[in-house]
Structure 1
Amino acid sequence: MISELARSADAAAADILTDITDLVACETHSYDLPGLGHGLELLSTLVARRLGAPTEVERHPGGEQGDTVVITYEGHGSGHVAIVGHYDTVWPRGTLTNWPIASHRGEDGRQRLSGPGIFDMKTGLAQGIWALKLLRESGAAVPTVTFVLNGDEEIGSPSSRPVIERVAASVDATLVLEASVDGAVKTGRKGGGIFTVTATGVEAHAGLNPEAGASAIHALAEFITDAAATAAPAEGTTVNVGRISGGSGTNVVAGQASASIDIRVLTQAEQDRVDAAFDEIQVSDPRIRIDVQHGWNRPPMTLNAASESLLKTARAVSEELGRPLADVTVGGASDANFVAGLGLPVLCGLGAVGGGAHARHEFIYPDTVAHQTALVAGILHRLADAA
C-alpha cells in the first residue's frame, strides 16, 4: 500500500505543485486581515475541491488576526488524526511584486521553487490535503482527519491556541506540517517568549541639575547586562535583546526606557530558572522602578513517550518509501509546542523540504513534494485504526 501511495503521489506531483503556487500567489501577511480572509477562502475552496464536502466545519473568529477553521472528514477506521497548519506568513502584501514565484537552480545544482511563504508553510498545507486525497482514492483504510488551519501562527497563535489544544486532546495523534529540516522531522522545539522590561526613573535637566535625575536608560543598560548573562548556551537557553527605546531628549535625564527580550529554552526547568533570575536582577539606583513582564508564549516541545510511538510509525513508513527518517531538535517554536505541552502525541516538520524560512530566498525542492505527500499519506494509513 505504501508503494502504491508513492506511485500515486508521483503521478500527482504536477497538480500538487500547482496548488502550492496558487496558495503562494495569494499573499497572507499575519497583520493583513483582508489578505488573510482571501487566503482562507482560497484554502477552504482548495480543500473542498480536492476532498469533497466535509463532514463538519467550524470557524473561529481571529479578531484582528486570521480566523481558524476546523474541517473534519470522517474516515473508515477507528483512528482520528489532526493535521495542523498555518496559512499566514511573515511577508507583507506587495512582496510578490519584487519577488515573484520563480524556478531556478541553486548552488547545489538542484531545481528550486522560490516564493514568499512557500517553505513556511504553504507547501505543507497542499501536501496535507493531497495526502488525504490520495489515501482516500487508494481504497485503503482511512482515519477520520481533522484539519486545523490557522492564520496567526507567525505571531504566536493568540486566538487559535485554545482551538488547537482542544482538537489535539480529542484525537489519537497530531501531525503539524511545518517545514522539515532537510527531510528530518522535528521532535524537539525550544519554548520561547518575549519579556518586556520597563525602567521608570526621574527626569531632570542633564546640564543644570543632572544629580536630581535618575536615568531609566542607564538603569536599563545595567539590567540588560545582567539579563544577557542569564543565557546558558550549553543548556540551549538564549537571551536576545531585540529592541530598546526610551528617553525624550539628549539633554534630559531619561524618565523611562524599555526593552523587548527574546528568550528561548529547551526545558521547563530552564524556563523556571530564567523567570527567577529576571525577577532577582537589581539596579544600582534605588530611585529606579523596574517592571518585568514575563511573556512566555509556547512551552518547550520534547519527545514524550506518546510521540516516540508516533515517530516509530513515521519511520516505518519512510523506510518503506526507501528513505530513513531522521529527527531533530530546533530553536524555533510552532503550534506543535502546544500539543507537546499537554503530553499528547505530535510530530512536526512533515511539510516542505527546502530552506530559507523567513528569508527572501525561501524555497522548496519540487522533486521532494511527492515523497513528502506520500509520507503523510502513509502515516495516516497506519493510524487508521486506533491502538
Structure 2
Amino acid sequence: MTAAAASAGSASAGPTGAGSAPAEPATESAPAASTSPIVAGPDAAVLAHELRAGAAAVRDELVALLLALARVDAPSGGEPDALRHAEAQLVAELLDLGAEVTRHATGAGAVLEATLGPAAGEPVLVLCHYDTVWPAGTAAARPPRERDGRVHGPGTYDMRGGIVAALGAARLLGPQLRRPLRFLFTPDEETGSAASRELIVRFGSDAAAVLVTEPPLPGGALKTARKGWATYRLETAGRSAHAGIEPERGISAIEELVDALVAVRALADPAAGTTINVGVIEGGCLPNVVPDHAAATLDVRARTAAEQERVNRALAALAPVRAGASVTVTHQHGRPPMERTPQIAAAATRARELAVLLDVSLGEGPVGGTSDANFLAPLGVPVLDGLGPDGQGAHAEDEQVSIDSLVERTALIALLIAAL
C-alpha cells in the first residue's frame, strides 16, 4: 500500500482539476511497487490457498488503507472540487500498483480508468464508485476507527471497503495477469450516475466479466437481481383566484394533482414487485388563493424492464381532469432493472465454485436498490455484484465493515480476476 494507507495526507497528490480535457493520462505509469506476486498457476485450488494466505498476511495494510480512504470526504452531488482529495488518493494507490491511469473529467467529478496486465484480450472490469452520501465535514465529525474486529465510519461499507478489497486483490496478483484488468471508479453513483453512465456502458460492453464491489446482501451473498429505478416530476397547472370572492374562476392545481396521484397509485403492483413512492409534494401559496401550481416527485421501482416500461407509458399518458388544467410528467433519473440473465446466472455459478476453494459459501439473491451494474445487465454482460465486504449501516451513522470479511473478499476478488 502507498503512504495513503498510513495517512490521508497523500490526498494532496494527484491529477489536475476538472477543467482538464475529457480524457487524459494522470501521469506516466509508475513502476510496480516491490511485492511478491502470486502467479496464477493451472491449479485453481493451489492459487486459492496462496491468495487466502496472501490476503491474511496484508490484513493490517488493508485496514490502514480503509481508514485512510474513509478519513477523506467524497460527497456525491455534482461538486467536483469536493471529490478532488478522494480522487487524488485513488490515483496515488493505482499508480503505486503500476497501473496506467486515465482521468475522464465530468461535471460530477472525474471518472478514473486504470489498466493493468496485458494489452490484448477481453478485460475483466472492476467497477467501483468513490462518492458517498455523506456531506463534507462528516469524516472530521465522525472519524473512522477500528474496534471489535470492524472498521466503523462514513463510507466504509458503501463502498470504501469494496474499493480496498479490489485494490488489495490487484496487489496480490501482481503483474502476472492472463488478461487485461481495468478499474473504473465513478464519482456520482449515489446520485444516479448520469455523468458516468456513458463510460460505464462503453467499458462494460467489451468486458469478459464485470465485478462490482458494492456491499453484499447480509451474510455476504451476491446481488444477482436488482430492481430498476426511475424518478419523475409530476407537475400540474391551473388558474389562481380568490378562494372566497370568486372561487369559480379558479382551477385548482392541487386538486388536479390529487386526482393525478390517485391514478398514479393505481399503477403500482406490489405482487409483481412494482412500487411507487410519492416522496415530495409541493404547491399553492396561501389558504385563500386557489392554487395555480402543484408538483410531486415520484420514485418508481420495478423488477422487470416490461413493468418499468408499462409504468413509464402510463405516466406519460396522464391527462388533466379539469378543463383548462395541464399535467406534465418529466423523467428525471433512472436505471434499468438488473434481471437475472443467463450470463449473470452462469457467472454466479462460477463464482460459487471458486469461492468453495476459499472455504467460502457464497449465496445470491435479489435486492430493491440499484447500482451501476443495472446499466450493464441488459446488455448481456456477465456481472457479479455485491462483491464488497460484509458489514452493515449503508447510508446510516452505524456504517461499518467486518475486517475478516474484508480479508476474505480481497482473496475472492483476486481469485475471480485470475480464474474467470
* Length-normalised TM-score, structure 2: 0.85
Deviation of the 1:279 alpha carbon = 3.5
User: In the alignment, what sits opposite 2:150?
Assistant: 112
User: In the alignment, what sits opposite 2:197?
Assistant: 161
Determine helix, strand or coil for the equivalent of 1:271: helix
Determine helix, strand or coil for the equivalent of 1:317: helix
Unaligned runs of 5+ in 1: 106-110
Deviation of the 1:151 alpha carbon = 0.3
Contact 1:201 1:287 in 2 (8 A): yes
Contact 2:63 2:151 in 1 (8 A): no
CA RMSD of aligned residues (A): 1.7
Q: Does 1:149 align with 2:185?
A: yes
Looking at structure 1, the residues matched to 318 and 277 of structure 2 have their Cα atoms a distance apart, in angstroms, of 16
Highest relative contact order (Cα 8 Å, sep 6+), 1 or 2? 1
Looking at structure 2, the residues matched to 332 and 291 of structure 1 have their Cα atoms a distance apart, in angstroms, of 27
User: In the alignment, what sits opposite 1:108?
Assistant: none
Give the alignment of 1:86-105 within 5 angstroms. Answer: 86-105=129-148
Determine helix, strand or coil for the equivalent of 1:294: strand
Contact 1:244 1:259 in 2 (8 A): yes
Deviation of the 1:245 alpha carbon = 1.1
Q: Does 1:84 align with 2:127?
A: yes
Q: How big is each residue's C-alpha offset from its partner over 1:190-242, in whole Å with a ceiling of 9 and x where there is no partner?
A: 11110110000000111111111111111111211221221111111110011
Q: Does 1:27 align with 2:70?
A: no
User: In the alignment, what sits opposite 1:5?
Assistant: 51
Determine helix, strand or coil for the equivalent of 1:61: strand
User: In the alignment, what sits opposite 2:297?
Assistant: 260
Contact 1:102 1:115 in 2 (8 A): yes
Deviation of the 1:123 alpha carbon = 0.8
Determine helix, strand or coil for the equivalent of 2:58: helix
Contact 2:274 2:303 in 1 (8 A): yes
1:272 to 267, 285, 309: 309
Deviation of the 1:352 alpha carbon = 2.1
Deviation of the 1:369 alpha carbon = 0.9
Q: Which amino acid in structure 1 is aligned with residue 169 of structure 2? A: A
Query: Which ranges of 4 or more aligned residues in structure 1 deviate by more than 3 Å?
Result: 75-79, 279-284
Give the alignment of 1:298-377 within 5 angstroms. Answer: 298-377=335-414
Looking at structure 2, the residues matched to 121 and 130 of structure 1 have their Cα atoms a distance apart, in angstroms, of 14
Determine helix, strand or coil for the equivalent of 2:57: helix
Contact 1:77 1:142 in 2 (8 A): no
Change (3 A) 1:279 1:160: closer
Looking at structure 2, the residues matched to 194 and 113 of structure 1 have their Cα atoms a distance apart, in angstroms, of 34
Contact 2:102 2:113 in 1 (8 A): yes
Give the alignment of 1:150-229 within 5 angstroms. Answer: 150-181=186-217, 182-229=219-266
Unaligned runs of 5+ in 2: 1-46
Contact 1:66 1:88 in 2 (8 A): no
Looking at structure 2, the residues matched to 162 and 81 of structure 1 have their Cα atoms a distance apart, in angstroms, of 18
Determine helix, strand or coil for the equivalent of 2:365: strand
* Length-normalised TM-score, structure 1: 0.92
User: In the alignment, what sits opposite 1:41?
Assistant: 88
* Number of residue equivalences: 372
Give the alignment of 1:371-386 within 5 angstroms. Answer: 371-383=408-420
Contact 1:76 1:142 in 2 (8 A): no
Q: Does 1:58 align with 2:105?
A: no
Deviation of the 1:104 alpha carbon = 4.0
Change (3 A) 1:57 1:101: closer
Looking at structure 1, the residues matched to 241 and 122 of structure 2 have their Cα atoms a distance apart, in angstroms, of 68
Identity of aligned residues (%): 37
Deviation of the 1:61 alpha carbon = 1.2
Contact 2:391 2:401 in 1 (8 A): yes
